[in-house]
Structure 1
Amino acid sequence: MTGPGSTAPRQFAFTTRAHMAVDDATGEPIGLDDVDTRVGWLLDLITAAGAELVSRLWQPATFDVLAAGRDRQDRRLPAQGHVAAARLGWTPIYPDGVYVPSRVTRVVTAQVMATLRTLAYRDTAITALSARFDPDTGVVAPPTEHSDYVPSGFLRGVRRQLAARSRRDGGAPAVPLRITEIQGPPRMAAMARISSADRQLAQITMADRELVLTVKLPTCPAPAGRAQWRSVRLTATIPEHLHGRTITDWHLPTLVLDHRGLLWRCAATELVPAADLESTTMAMGVDWSPTTLGAAAIVAEGSGGLSSDYRGWTYDDRGLGIKLARLQAEGQLLHAKAARLTQLSATAPPEVRAELEAKIAVLDAHREAVGAKRGKVNRELAFHFARQATDYATAAGAQVIAVEDLTTLETRGHGRVNNNRAAQSARRQAVAALAHTAAGVGITVVSVPARGSSAQCPGCDEPLSRPGGYHTAWCSRCRVGGNRDHVAGVNLAKRALLGRNKPTRRRGQTPAIRVAEHAPVRRCRDKNGPTPSRPRHRRVRHSLPDVTQRLGVNPKQHVPAPQASVWDTVKPTPPHGNAGSRDTRLSPTPATQVADSMRCT
């Protein structure tokens, strides 16, 4: 139900850490280091059991069952992973003498089923691509049906794998290949998704702005009986940014270990203002820019159709993009050094090989540290962009934010370094952060087709010209233009307004508009978007004359030129000893009179 003042539930994630631990049976305090050790034993059991189950199920018959979605009795497989695994008889095997509760087995099978179900799509795509692969040319024939379409990035990766196998086997395979034939089983992540279990393994409560998690942990690396699994009560503080929010339910977290110890990856359900996509009359389009993370523009719908002032907003990343580029280059350099040392160690003497392996370990540790730092910067960049974009949309009165469909967006044509740098940007993380932040104020984020958004005119849908280079766009027919990212934002917002009645909704994803419709967007002088904020403490050299600023972002509007100086038009012969310096005037006659006399003649 939607309407003014209505709310809707939505889930979000956050992280926290425990600051106190006690034994649930005796109430005695437990050190956090001991808790980290016991959680490590739990993760070791889950990881080993999951790896064993994945390697045992790594065969084509497993993916045939998952693709069909039916069990042996021709019943539909349930969505819960541990229930589907139990119905199929897929259970992990533990070492002899090790006792593991059945609820921990649920956690193992749920994580394995989530991984295999994700790879089932890849198995189907590889089978279709290998049937159309030509080993002589290394080209995959285009699909004949729409269901066989795959993203171009996924296609290139599979094509490289098929080419490598063709070179290794010396020809094309007799039958289409499966995923189990071109790659090995995936590694299991060291984590415990205890949300798939019930109260016998873990439960969570909230009291006085604190979360209390009660979970069973082993007391030794290889527990032999039920008595060696004891409940521990962990207490963590709720982050400050969640105080005052209408949270209706707290879900069991996922437990992981990092360099600081035990980390909770929690989820919660809260009530947010409900958004009505069909009644949207104003939209904001966000274009992913190669120079910054994103730029936006506003489009409104009125009695005269679609209109926009073509004034855009560009996100200022505060130098984080440059920092990310530096960290990426550093990580690539460390990877290249480690790869080169690995090649040298393969043929080196034993004493030299040991020295090289020690250097490789140091390089790998540095590379992991750089990767962790990049992850933190990407998260900070994503949420800072989401807050700035949401504030801009709220000030403009937009009810929907349109972003480019990332599955159809591919960076190309800017060189190997810039293409790789743009591909490594945290766009998907920024979309998730934007959807989360915008939902808190009742704004819906939808994805629209990206093709042609910065190359076509929003008014006449004709190709745009580039009079000022790559970053400018201009339509001589409609007399509109400006920054190409802002023009792309107008196109994206237009597509969201035209397709608001036909969105495709999938669970866990933002609503998607698949078809790009066209309607002319006229340029209006009404101010639809808010005025971008300006720095309050800008340093200005008062000795220099002020430069007249252009209005808006349209570079083609007429700006009167300043009055010409007489020294730019009159060039009399300089006196003896003067080399033509403009500091020496040749006549006491005022410059304005000279200029006027020249205009009259």
Structure 2
Amino acid sequence: MSKLTATAPCTAHAAVVEQSGEIVSQALLVQRVAWLAGLARDLTARLVAERWNPADLDALACGVGLDGRALPSKGWMALRRLGWAVAPAAGVHVCDRVLRCAQEQAARALRLALHRRTLVAAIAAIAATWPADARKRTGAEWQALRKMLPDGVSPAEIRNRTRQIRAYRDEHGALPADLTDLEEPPNIAAQIVLAAADRQLLTLERTGEDSARLRVRLPLAESPASGRDWAWHVLPITLPPTVPPQAKLCTPTLRVSKGRVRVDLPFQTPIGFAPATGHVVACGFDWGLNTLLTGATGRLTGGRVLCDGRPLTYDATGISAKLHRLRTEREHLAAKHEHLERLLARLTPADPRHAKLAAACEVLGVEHERVCARIRHLNKALAWSAARWAVDQAAAAGATVVYLEDLATLEARGRRGRANARLSGQVRGQIAEAIRHLAAKHTIAVVTVPARGTSKYCPRCGTGTSALQHCPAPDRLTEKGWAWASCPACGLSCDRDWAAAERIVSRGLLGQQATRTHRTTGERTIGTAVEGNIARARRTRKPTRAARRARRTRTDLHPRGTDPRTVPPRNGPHAHRATRSTTR
């Protein structure tokens, strides 16, 4: 039995000082939590800035402490074993547990920098011999770069780092020697990571199915001078409905956002283990341009994949149109804001027009942020709605695995204008993460398969050589687009996204023995595309009661050829109808 970890966003509206019984209002609680988060941020930023050099990053990357022992997984323990201590400013009293939280946040930032450092070193080592145009690079050059990079690096990361290195070379005339030359120390968020603390700084207990109590020490002043400037505060927390009663609550993270105290509360739920292989029934989903998700159900029978012929479609046309309108409005506001900023740069503060333009610029900035927040909320809602639909379809079909296209090979390139904007605005990454989270609750595995050629070739031929031809859809005979396709070899005519979904199911079921699990993230993927022809399962329809009664009436009550429903009447008001029906 494994555990599924998720984070519930909670809010603390008030608190009670444990010793005196004083009720702390929301405004005062926000101030005290901001003081604690500010102390942790200053300590973390100072520690990261001190260790932002190649020698210290090499010491952290080697994984061995000063005593010769391996560094532990906990970040604050690893930094202390390396001897990287941090102390508060003069005259400020901070307990050791707050120092632990600061060191934990610094260790996470530095370990994340090690990943970026590996990418920069590999790309900088091979960038000197690469042609400037990425399309002219050979397969051997790409393969050599892949061997130097860690697993799971997407082409988008490679492209972004290549642009960053090229910009540095154009500015300085040489390639960067290390990540520290390419980037400044990262910005540190104002938050307190309580995962590194113990009962001397906080306690957490569940008081009901939808409530919990957080007990934490907070400073009573911005710069506490002694232990008397710290006090225990009890924060009642209301749990969202997504936290089940049997979930185990973990240590949260405190931060201040928009005048509220946010409590990011992780919780663990016991789930069953979903095997990587041995699947018989599966669902495959294709990312589409007009339709967000198109799925198909397949069954592995005798080395072949049989599909039931029923397409599963998640249509998000309405919400996609709304998101497109919001993106257009966001770009319009950003253009106006940049225009006003350029005008302000030409004016002096003494100019009477400066104050008016500054006020208008501030209003546009606030409105731009509101539109961006609206887009983020709609994207999140769309992602979880689509993921919930996909998992429900897989559970209803009895599938034990869901196959998705590998997002690393899906990029919005090669198209123009509106199509490119719609592809780049989709929330495929959020949907994939949401599907993994929701499928784990149903003990359904999620595996990614190669995306190349899924929409190009016919699923019935199965050889990967019979390319589909685009033809007018049955409901749009006067238009020829990408939605409908036909195969000249076998005569298949179907929706293009549905054909891709069938090929995704086939690649997953036939190549499931090549499934690999990432060591750190746990994501499962199939790197080799195994092709096979997909047959459509024949469904035997059971005759209805009315059909059985009609058949018995024709054969039993009337002799053959004397059924009045088969012999046209010679006269009557409906004689022409009967005659017309018999002459067809």
TM class, shorter-length: 0.7 to 0.9
How has the CA–CA distance of structure 1 residues 393 and 596 changed in structure 2, closer, same or farther, with 3 Å as cutoff? closer
Contact 1:480–1:523 (CA under 8 A) maintained in structure 2: no
Partner of 1:55: 49
What is the 5 A alignment of 1:212-251? 212-243=213-244, 245-247=245-247, 249-251=248-250
How has the CA–CA distance of structure 1 residues 318 and 139 changed in structure 2, closer, same or farther, with 3 Å as cutoff? closer
Partner of 1:555: none
Opposite residue 259 of structure 1, the aligned amino acid is K
Partner of 2:506: 494
Q: Give the whole-Å Cα distance in 2 for the aligned partners of 1:118 and 1:310.
A: 46
**Deviation of the 1:134 alpha carbon:** 4.8
How has the CA–CA distance of structure 1 residues 229 and 376 changed in structure 2, closer, same or farther, with 3 Å as cutoff? same
Q: Give the whole-Å Cα distance in 2 for the aligned partners of 1:510 and 1:526.
A: 35
Q: Give the whole-Å Cα distance in 2 for the aligned partners of 1:56 and 1:261.
A: 32
Partner of 1:160: 163
Contact 2:204–2:215 (CA under 8 A) maintained in structure 1: yes
* Number of residue pairs matched by the alignment: 526
In structure 2, the residue corresponding to 1:17 is in which secondary structure?
strand
Q: Give the whole-Å Cα distance in 2 for the aligned partners of 1:453 and 1:73.
A: 54
Partner of 1:77: 71
Opposite residue 174 of structure 2, the aligned amino acid is A
**Deviation of the 1:39 alpha carbon:** 0.8
Partner of 1:549: none
Q: Give the whole-Å Cα distance in 2 for the aligned partners of 1:50 and 1:358.
A: 36
Q: Could you list the structure 1 runs, at least 4 aligned residues long, displaced by more than 4 angstroms after superposition.
A: 134-137, 352-358, 590-597
What is the 5 A alignment of 1:439-458? 439-458=440-459
> 1:86-117 deviations in whole A, cap 9, x for unaligned?
11222334322111221112211212221221
In structure 1, the residue corresponding to 2:223 is in which secondary structure?
coil
Opposite residue 413 of structure 1, the aligned amino acid is G
Larger displacement relative to structure 2 (138-147 or 179-188)? 138-147
How has the CA–CA distance of structure 1 residues 426 and 90 changed in structure 2, closer, same or farther, with 3 Å as cutoff? farther
For structure 1, the residue ranges without an aligned partner over 5 or more in a row are 1-6, 528-589
What is the 5 A alignment of 1:118-137? 118-134=112-128
> 1:389-423 deviations in whole A, cap 9, x for unaligned?
11111111111111122222212222154324422
**Are positions 1:413 and 2:414 aligned together?**
yes
**Are positions 1:517 and 2:530 aligned together?**
yes
Larger displacement relative to structure 2 (332-341 or 367-376)? 332-341
Q: Give the whole-Å Cα distance in 1 for the aligned partners of 2:53 and 2:493.
A: 56
Partner of 2:312: 313
The answer to which structure has the higher helix fraction is: 2
In structure 1, the residue corresponding to 2:377 is in which secondary structure?
helix
Percent pairwise identity:
32
Opposite residue 172 of structure 1, the aligned amino acid is A
Opposite residue 280 of structure 2, the aligned amino acid is T
What is the 5 A alignment of 1:10-89? 10-89=4-83
Q: Give the whole-Å Cα distance in 1 for the aligned partners of 2:356 and 2:178.
A: 40
**Are positions 1:465 and 2:485 aligned together?**
no
How has the CA–CA distance of structure 1 residues 86 and 242 changed in structure 2, closer, same or farther, with 3 Å as cutoff? same
Contact 1:63–1:123 (CA under 8 A) maintained in structure 2: no
Contact 2:214–2:234 (CA under 8 A) maintained in structure 1: yes
Aligned match for 1:476, one of 472, 488, 510: 488
Opposite residue 123 of structure 2, the aligned amino acid is L
For structure 2, the residue ranges without an aligned partner over 5 or more in a row are 473-480, 541-575
Q: Give the whole-Å Cα distance in 1 for the aligned partners of 2:166 and 2:376.
A: 33
Partner of 2:572: none
How has the CA–CA distance of structure 1 residues 318 and 217 changed in structure 2, closer, same or farther, with 3 Å as cutoff? farther
Partner of 1:432: 433
How has the CA–CA distance of structure 1 residues 273 and 127 changed in structure 2, closer, same or farther, with 3 Å as cutoff? closer
How has the CA–CA distance of structure 1 residues 478 and 523 changed in structure 2, closer, same or farther, with 3 Å as cutoff? farther
Partner of 1:187: 187
**Deviation of the 1:84 alpha carbon:** 1.1
Q: Give the whole-Å Cα distance in 2 for the aligned partners of 1:205 and 1:137.
A: 59
How has the CA–CA distance of structure 1 residues 361 and 437 changed in structure 2, closer, same or farther, with 3 Å as cutoff? same
How has the CA–CA distance of structure 1 residues 361 and 428 changed in structure 2, closer, same or farther, with 3 Å as cutoff? same
Q: Give the whole-Å Cα distance in 2 for the aligned partners of 1:166 and 1:96.
A: 42
Opposite residue 151 of structure 1, the aligned amino acid is S
Q: Give the whole-Å Cα distance in 1 for the aligned partners of 2:533 and 2:129.
A: 47
Q: Give the whole-Å Cα distance in 1 for the aligned partners of 2:91 and 2:515.
A: 55
Opposite residue 461 of structure 1, the aligned amino acid is G
Opposite residue 163 of structure 1, the aligned amino acid is R
Q: Give the whole-Å Cα distance in 2 for the aligned partners of 1:50 and 1:205.
A: 28
In structure 2, the residue corresponding to 1:263 is in which secondary structure?
strand
In structure 2, the residue corresponding to 1:501 is in which secondary structure?
helix
Q: Give the whole-Å Cα distance in 2 for the aligned partners of 1:63 and 1:237.
A: 41
> 1:351-373 deviations in whole A, cap 9, x for unaligned?
35565444443333222222222
**Deviation of the 1:261 alpha carbon:** 0.5
Q: Give the whole-Å Cα distance in 2 for the aligned partners of 1:335 and 1:310.
A: 47
Q: TM-score, normalised by structure 2?
A: 0.83
**Deviation of the 1:520 alpha carbon:** 2.1
Contact 2:515–2:526 (CA under 8 A) maintained in structure 1: yes
**Deviation of the 1:73 alpha carbon:** 4.2
Contact 1:53–1:93 (CA under 8 A) maintained in structure 2: no
Q: Give the whole-Å Cα distance in 1 for the aligned partners of 2:96 and 2:146.
A: 44
How has the CA–CA distance of structure 1 residues 137 and 270 changed in structure 2, closer, same or farther, with 3 Å as cutoff? closer
Contact 2:291–2:317 (CA under 8 A) maintained in structure 1: no
Partner of 2:567: none
How has the CA–CA distance of structure 1 residues 433 and 594 changed in structure 2, closer, same or farther, with 3 Å as cutoff? closer
Larger displacement relative to structure 2 (89-98 or 41-50)? 89-98
Q: TM-score, normalised by structure 1?
A: 0.80
> 1:427-483 deviations in whole A, cap 9, x for unaligned?
222122212222222212222222222122233322322223212233233443422
What is the 5 A alignment of 1:11-410? 11-134=5-128, 138-139=132-133, 142-143=141-142, 144-148=144-148, 150-169=153-172, 171-173=173-175, 176-209=176-209, 210-243=211-244, 245-247=245-247, 249-259=248-258, 261-303=260-302, 305-317=304-316, 319-352=318-351, 356-410=357-411
Contact 2:14–2:29 (CA under 8 A) maintained in structure 1: no
Larger displacement relative to structure 2 (65-74 or 253-262)? 65-74
Opposite residue 192 of structure 1, the aligned amino acid is I
> 1:479-515 deviations in whole A, cap 9, x for unaligned?
4342222222122222222333333223334322222
In structure 2, the residue corresponding to 1:519 is in which secondary structure?
coil
**Deviation of the 1:71 alpha carbon:** 3.0
Opposite residue 116 of structure 2, the aligned amino acid is R
Opposite residue 510 of structure 2, the aligned amino acid is L
Q: Give the whole-Å Cα distance in 1 for the aligned partners of 2:10 and 2:369.
A: 22
How has the CA–CA distance of structure 1 residues 116 and 355 changed in structure 2, closer, same or farther, with 3 Å as cutoff? farther
Q: Give the whole-Å Cα distance in 2 for the aligned partners of 1:90 and 1:100.
A: 17
Contact 1:50–1:108 (CA under 8 A) maintained in structure 2: yes
Q: Give the whole-Å Cα distance in 1 for the aligned partners of 2:183 and 2:417.
A: 27
**Deviation of the 1:308 alpha carbon:** 1.0
Q: Give the whole-Å Cα distance in 1 for the aligned partners of 2:383 and 2:28.
A: 35
Contact 1:481–1:487 (CA under 8 A) maintained in structure 2: no
Q: Give the whole-Å Cα distance in 2 for the aligned partners of 1:139 and 1:444.
A: 39
In structure 1, the residue corresponding to 2:261 is in which secondary structure?
strand
Q: Give the whole-Å Cα distance in 1 for the aligned partners of 2:299 and 2:2.
A: 25
Q: Give the whole-Å Cα distance in 2 for the aligned partners of 1:14 and 1:481.
A: 46
In structure 1, the residue corresponding to 2:217 is in which secondary structure?
strand
> 1:521-542 deviations in whole A, cap 9, x for unaligned?
2122339xxxxxxxxxxxxxxx
Cα-Cα RMSD? 2.9
Opposite residue 453 of structure 2, the aligned amino acid is G
Partner of 1:539: none
Opposite residue 278 of structure 1, the aligned amino acid is T
**Deviation of the 1:260 alpha carbon:** 5.1
In structure 2, the residue corresponding to 1:453 is in which secondary structure?
coil
Contact 2:215–2:234 (CA under 8 A) maintained in structure 1: yes
**Are positions 1:8 and 2:2 aligned together?**
yes
